[in-house]
Structure 1
Amino acid sequence: MSMVRIAPEINLVLDPDTGTVTQERKDSIQYSMEPVFERMDKLDAVADDLLNSLSPSKPLLSSWPGRENTSYMAGFYGNTFYGVVIGLAFSGLLALIIYISSLMKGVV
């Protein structure tokens, strides 16, 4: 955090972050908050990415551009595939039961 010396002979300084003019004191120490702000920005980006991971249409932080709907399409195609497979298995089982019951009509 830098201070701008307005009048060095009367110890007036300007804080550019807040825009205040104060008297410079020798007994106070000021620390720069820039490293903290940078880490907070990174943490904010990670938190936004965590929230974006819950929606299939939002971009993720470390993904390639243009892949916003990838998880939506993968879920659609995956569920369609499993639906067709389970539907065919159920239909085949039903056809087998109907065939066996038609063969059993003459026996019973």
Structure 2
Amino acid sequence: MTHPLDATFAALADPTRRAILSMLLEDDMAVTDVAAPFNMSLAAISKHLQVLADAGLISQEKRGRVKWCKLEPDALRAASVWMQGFGQFEPVNLDAFERFLALELPDTES
């Protein structure tokens, strides 16, 4: 038996599936709307959606003749908890980094 995280990370490994998840952050979408920005067949998009659904990252629901996709954000919680187990990283202070760069790099505006 495989660990549920295997399906999550396998689904996230593909850039098309990550793009689909980003699109679904905005709102539920019909499958045809999900497919619109991609240069691939509806069948190929459907396979990507099935991988995401099998991993629990999205759910699909038929409304009339249209199949809708919905992001399931709680599905990423286990992956997030697992990754946090590798240690906490200090957040980057961009203001301090900018000040450091200003001091260290020669003035290029002259």
TM tier relative to shorter chain: under 0.3
Greater helix share, 1 or 2? Answer: 2
Q: TM-score, normalised by structure 2?
A: 0.20
Determine which structure has more spread, i.e. the larger CA radius of gyration: 1
Higher relative contact order (CA 8 A, sep 6+): 2
